Structure 1
Amino acid sequence: MSQPENSARPDRIPAATVIVFRSAGPGKPPELLMVTRSRNMAFAGGAAVFPGGRVDPADYDLAASLASALPVEEAAHRVAAIRETLEETGLAIGISGRVDAAIARAARALLLEHGTLGPVLAAMDWQIDLDAVLPFARWFPKNERLPRLFDTRFYLADLGTGAVDITVDETENTRLYWIAAHDALAAAERGELSVIFPTRRNLERLAQFPDFAAAAQDCARFPVRTIVPRIAEEHGQRWLCIPEDAGYPVTREPLGDVLRG
């Protein structure tokens, strides 16, 4: 099965990103899994982002083979989110079946060997659980300054509590870490993290939630819509803006600050 025509357009690269929650303990805000991209990467080099990447043709093939009521396009994005998380971090999310640290390591090695998720599912006797990744947002920044235009769907996944093994994929990323949303924003303000406009807005939204359940409720309140940032000029200053009614507490930033970030 080939990739859908609307997703293969040269100006729109389909991508999927996962925001993985982990409980930090009673009374503490949840931690999120983030990676720092290699400075050699063409898109967002050196930036702190969530695990993810483009949707591959094999993701559409696997999605079409699943007994799911989801449209193939949406199912393929969720498959890509699950695959990219395993590949980039060693974390197995969206999986039904036996998973422990050793099994996850073996699955990741198999994924890196084959490049597709299907053989991994068969070898590990896993079933994919598309409902374990919750649609959160969709961003399509149409900025001609960007080397590539990614149409990215963001998902949420919950690890709950417990120890997990994560290991950075050093081909694309240089650092892998758990951090609370407000701590990531504070680090960006101090210049310790480089955060691009969509990531900053999503961190601000995520910082509102005391736990994963609250984030899930927010998803129900604000169904996913494609956010296309736009430039507006007011009183001689240019701003990069997003819709006011999409669930984000901050909906604009001076364009000069965005470009510096």
Structure 2
Amino acid sequence: MPSPSDTDSLPPATPAATVVIFRTDPDGGPPLLCMVERSAKMAFAPGAAVFPGGRVDPDDYDLADRLAPELEREEGAARIAAIRETLEETGLSIGIVAGGSHPGSRERAEVRAALNDGVLFSELLEERGWSLDLARFTYWARWRPPGTIEKRVFDTRFYIADAGDAVLRGEADRTENTSLFWASAQEVLRRADAGEISVIFPTRRNLERLSLFSDFEAARVHADSVPVRMVLTYVEERADGEYICLPDGHGYPVLEEPMSRALRG
């Protein structure tokens, strides 16, 4: 298999984007994160709790060319995909600005339905006069497993975004995802360890990293201090079996998990 630093020999991967949405816990606990539980019928990560996100579409690249020429094209398109996928999957409009404020619930529902019917995001933005605040997203990580580990290979950019004290009443789309919930990183990990939910290897590693921070600002400062480089997971043979691992230096406190226990996409 390719070494953790060998990107030239990697097979093609599907570009994707995901966003970790923070909001303040009204009870004073650690920040709450938006999670969706995927349908058991989905090919990728069936039944797992994940952050909202999905594939980068051709229309996302076209929008990036028009709206964010200052950004590297893949980066701009990924941020737009994170916004669009979040709206499709949760009904939340993180990063969308409508007349100086956030779109109302009725508008979000109408646009969400149109997206699910196949209408292009670019057309809906123009029709509604909406703009995108791409600077609201902080680049957190980029994950790409070698094709020798996973059947479906995604090159996924992770972002974090802060909703502050907002009360966000998102709802799962009931197609790709069956439910939506808000919980701290610590609580999601506790529920996973108790067998109440399942989380795939990248989600678990990111939850462990996110659990280190008491608020969004601390996570943002940390993210800015760790240059984002592609996380290339790999398998290591040991006396007690195979381990799925990631290299050090990406900001993650836990770098391995036995293959026998790791849930993968």
Give the structure-1-normalised TM-score.
0.91
Give the partner amino acid of 2:206.
Answer: N
Matched, 1:116 2:117: no
Equivalents in 2 of 1:11, 1:203: separation in Å? 27
Matched, 1:176 2:174: no
Give the partner amino acid of 1:140.
Answer: R
SS in structure 2 opposite 1:192?
Answer: coil
Q: How far is the alpha carbon of 1:44 from its aligned partner?
A: 0.6
Q: Which structure 2 residues correspond to residues 73-88 of structure 1 after superposition, within 5 A? A: 73-88=74-89
SS in structure 2 opposite 1:257?
Answer: coil
Write the deviation string for residues 34-67 of structure 1: whole angstroms up to 9, x where unpaired.
1111111111111111111111111111111114
Higher mean alpha-carbon deviation, 49-58 vs 101-110, is at: 101-110
Q: 1:217: which partner in 2?
A: 221
Q: Name the count of aligned residue pairs.
A: 254
SS in structure 2 opposite 1:81?
Answer: helix
Higher mean alpha-carbon deviation, 109-118 vs 19-28, is at: 109-118
| Contact 2:45/2:264 (<8 A) preserved | no
Equivalents in 1 of 2:44, 2:117: separation in Å? 25
| Contact 1:138/1:152 (<8 A) preserved | yes
List alignment gaps of at least 5 residues for structure 1.
1-8
- The structure 1 residue matched to 2:247, chosen from 217, 220, 243, is 243
Q: 1:6: which partner in 2?
A: none
Give the partner amino acid of 2:47.
Answer: G
Give the partner amino acid of 2:208.
Answer: E
| Contact 1:101/1:164 (<8 A) preserved | no
Alpha carbons of 1:243 and 1:61: their partners in 2 closer, same or farther (altered >3 Å)?
A: same
Q: 1:154: which partner in 2?
A: 158
Q: 1:164: which partner in 2?
A: 168
Equivalents in 2 of 1:256, 1:111: separation in Å? 39
Q: How far is the alpha carbon of 1:28 from its aligned partner?
A: 1.0
Equivalents in 2 of 1:42, 1:113: separation in Å? 21
SS in structure 2 opposite 1:20?
Answer: strand
Higher mean alpha-carbon deviation, 233-242 vs 71-80, is at: 233-242
Matched, 1:46 2:47: yes
Give the partner amino acid of 1:138.
Answer: R
Q: Which structure 2 residues correspond to residues 1-150 of structure 1 after superposition, within 5 A? A: 11-25=12-26, 27-97=28-98, 98=101, 99-144=103-148, 146-150=150-154
Segments of 4+ in structure 1 off by > 6 A? none
Give the partner amino acid of 2:32.
Answer: E
Identity of aligned pairs, percent? 49
| Contact 1:42/1:147 (<8 A) preserved | no
Q: 1:188: which partner in 2?
A: 192
Q: How far is the alpha carbon of 1:174 from its aligned partner?
A: 0.8
| Contact 2:143/2:155 (<8 A) preserved | yes
Give the partner amino acid of 2:179.
Answer: R
Equivalents in 1 of 2:130, 2:233: separation in Å? 39
| Contact 1:60/1:72 (<8 A) preserved | yes
Matched, 1:204 2:205: no
| Contact 1:35/1:51 (<8 A) preserved | yes
**Larger RCO, structure (CA 8 Å, separation 6 or more):** 2
Alpha carbons of 1:42 and 1:128: their partners in 2 closer, same or farther (altered >3 Å)?
A: same
Equivalents in 1 of 2:91, 2:74: separation in Å? 25
